Amino acid sequence: MAIFGKKEPEVKGTGSQATQPVNRNTPKEPKKTPSKPITSAKASDAGNDTTYLGKNLKINGTVSGQGNLIILGTFDGDFDLKGQLKVAQGAVIKGNINATGVSINGNVDGTIVAKERILLDTAASMKGRLETPKISIQDGAVFDGELQMSAKSGPAQTQSPKPAAPEVKPAPKQSAVSEIK
């Protein structure tokens, strides 16, 4: 078959020794230059780092700092994080958690204080106290304890509005002795 009036070279040969046509008019591929790695300001931001504690680890102590943390193993102690903490399915924590946001899908025994939100996922088992402005408890999660939901603390909410009380007016005075006419 000819394209644009050019004839294709014929393939000659028999059996397995057939030769392929050589096309000398094909353009050469351009040389590939290695691309420069793309870096962003977010990649170097320490607040977006995520740390994993593996499922084969058993740790006792206190963890504090900034960044996100995912627990896969067993931990006995306290957490104080400026970031998100996730307790994966199968993980066990005995201790107190203070973080920006907490997501539980494992077992926790202790107190959790979250500045933004707490999520108890389908395989979560929580025994203790929860303090957060927002909570989500999925079907299948088990929660045995106390829940305190409070608004976020911030400068805009320093004054709490007083509830409106109905105004009570005194009834007009009537004398006990009535005049008889």
72-115 pLDDT, tens digit each = 999 999 999 999 999 999 999 999 999 999 999 999 999 999 99
Helix (H, G, I), strand (E, B) or coil at 111: strand
Distance CA 32, CA 113 (A): 53
DSSP state, residue 176:
S
What pTM does this model have? Answer: 0.59
pLDDT for 160 equals 45
Q: Please write the tens of the pLDDT for every residue from 135-160.
A: 999 999 999 999 999 876 433 343 44
Distance CA 30, CA 133 (A): 59
